[in-house]
Amino acid sequence: MSKNTQVAEVEQVAVGELLLHPQNPRVGNVEEISKSILANGWWGTLVAQRSTNMVLAGNHRLLAAQQLELETVPVYWLDCDDEQALKILLADNRTSDISEYDEVMLGELLTSLTLNEQGLLGTGFGIESYDDLMRSVEGQTMDITDHEAEWTHMPEFNQEDKMAAFRAVVHFASEKNADDFFKMLGVHKQKILWWPEHDGLVQSDIGKSWEHEEEE
């Protein structure tokens, strides 16, 4: 830590005493933050420059607090000069931008929450973003290296995009457990399936492509 930056104790500060930083370039979703606060209660601490009362980290949480008419919020005061304040303001946003999700882990976490009564409420994720993520995860978990090659010599057909009414992620402790599961369902072992099969489309036994079911 820079010797010119000193950290004070966290304290509850009246919302009206704090100022939004006029040079904050970030445009946040205050509505989603407000929903999260209503669903989960207040979480996190604002970081503010003591000499100016300007918020360096948490400007949109401050806006949400104003909208929700909260009286006080926890603030972590920093004694720093204006140049350092701007660097902290930028770093708080930028370090988040350059981070990435482990999409498989995120998908499992969100899926577990969809099984609860409140679902994804308060997470910042909606059903559309969840479905988009799960499509991406499904693509990552398939052993496909050449999508074009997979369709070589395959008959053409039109498939209407369909959204699943419910998704479940099943983990097997062993290959035998997986074999027993698919044997019980009476289908070939595969990584993604529709239940029941729909529109005459079934997935191949290696979970790599969709093909027409032969008409009898």
Q: Kindly report which listed range (71-80, 121-130, 159-168) carries the lowest average pLDDT score.
A: 159-168
Top CATH class of 6-97 equals: alpha beta
What is the pTM for the complete model shown?
Answer: 0.52
Give the pLDDT of residue 108. Answer: 84
Whole-Å CA distances, 27 to 23, 105, 149, 183: 11, 27, 42, 51
- Summarize the confidence of residues 5-20 as an average pLDDT: 85
Where in the chain are the domains?
Answer: 6-97, 100-141, 154-216
Lookup: tokens for 38:
């209503």
Q: What residues have CB less than 8 Å from 205, skipping those under 6 apart? A: 188, 189, 190
pLDDT in tens, 83-101: 999 999 999 888 877 777 7
DSSP 87: H
pLDDT in tens, 168-213: 777 777 888 888 888 888 887 776 777 776 554 444 333 333 344 4
Q: Which amino acid is at 98?
A: I
For the beta sheet containing 6-14, the strands, ordered from the edge strand earlier in sequence to the opposite edge, are 6-14, 72-79, 46-49, 54-57
Lookup: tokens for 107:
């998908």
Could you tell me which residues are beta bridge partners of residue 49? 54, 78
Give residue 135's pLDDT band: very low, low, confident or very high (50, 70, 90): confident
Residue with tokens 């939004």: 20
Contact 120, 127 (CB under 8 A): yes
Give the pLDDT of residue 213. Answer: 41
